[in-house]
Amino acid sequence: MIKFCSLFSGSSGNSLFLGFESTRILIDAGLSAKKITQALCSIGENPSELSAILISHEHSDHIKGAGILSRRFNLPVYANTSTWQSMESFIGPVQAHNKQYFVSGEDFKIGSIAVRPFSIPHDASDPVGFNFFINGRKITTATDIGHINREILGYLEKSDMILLESNHDVEMLRVGPYPWHLKRRILGDRGHLSNDMAGKVVAYLASLGTRHFLLGHLSKENNFPELAYETVSNTLFEKKLAIGSDIYIDVALRDRVSRVVEL
């Protein structure tokens, strides 16, 4: 049985859990080690039994607790070379045997889980999303995406389940309190995916067979769960795709543990 749970997903911090058999992976660690530890325990997982921490990119909402967790529980941390170079001074010392490197676009294995990191457009050194191949299933996590292109869609296609960014409502962002330079960054090609674009991507992937979707990385100031869900749902309705029978959609909560998904 595959076990997946969003512990936290949003502009305030991100951390996901994926487990199969004896392999347990933490995807990003963007909150305090204490909060992540408490979240893991709340879903029946012992942080000392984690197999690894995977890092998508070096922004603080993805790495804040990585160093402390690694030192406290002797955990390997996986990231590509550019991300390691950008984050190392922020997460503190990690023992040499726990500094693990992957290459974007090249598959590797952690225990019983095969991992494929793929490049995404975001304003970081070498940011990635992840495909996970487990017992004939494909699970994908893809957030912090400035825009969607054919290459990214290729990595997302035919996932059994996907956590996809639905960061902001464009109008809320435009009229909101953020300074213009920050609005421009979020709306740019290396910023974040909007609710409208998430809806289009979900509809496309659903037409190819993906059935389980989790909308993630919602902005605290420029979005809220009901709006993200409604926007994506409306797009599916227009495409005559029925939520609940054809497709299952949930929203990953920004500040607390979401529903555990078992496949």
Q: Report pLDDT digits (tens) over 122-149.
A: 999 999 999 999 999 999 999 999 999 9
pLDDT at residue 108, rounded to an integer: 98
Task: Kindly list the structural domains of the chain, giving each domain's residue range(s) and its CATH number in brackets, ordered by start.
Answer: 2-262 (3.60.15.10)
pLDDT at residue 244, rounded to an integer: 84
Whether 245 shows a pLDDT value over 80: the answer reads: no
pLDDT band for position 241 (cuts 50, 70, 90): confident
Asked whether the beta carbons of 262 and 228 are under 8 A apart, the reply is no
Alpha carbon 6 to chain centroid, angstroms: 8
Sole residue written with tokens 């457009």: 121
* Euclidean distance between CA atoms 68 and 47, whole angstroms: 12
pLDDT band for position 47 (cuts 50, 70, 90): very high
pLDDT band for position 113 (cuts 50, 70, 90): very high
* Euclidean distance between CA atoms 66 and 33, whole angstroms: 7
| Global pTM value | 0.96
Instruction: Count the neighbouring beta carbons within 10 Å of the beta carbon of residue 242.
Output: 10
pLDDT band for position 11 (cuts 50, 70, 90): confident
* Euclidean distance between CA atoms 91 and 111, whole angstroms: 25
pLDDT at residue 1, rounded to an integer: 94
* Euclidean distance between CA atoms 148 and 102, whole angstroms: 23
| Burial of 216: CB neighbours in 10 Å, binned 0-12, 13-18, 19+ | buried
Q: Max Cα separation, the chain?
A: 53
Beta strands per DSSP E along the chain: 2-8, 15-20, 23-27, 52-54, 77-79, 99-101, 108-110, 113-119, 128-134, 137-142, 161-165, 212-216, 248-251, 261-262
pLDDT at residue 22, rounded to an integer: 97
Whether 86 shows a pLDDT value over 90: the answer reads: yes
Beta strands per DSSP E along 61-190: 77-79, 99-101, 108-110, 113-119, 128-134, 137-142, 161-165
pLDDT at residue 37, rounded to an integer: 98
* Euclidean distance between CA atoms 43 and 128, whole angstroms: 26
* Euclidean distance between CA atoms 107 and 22, whole angstroms: 20
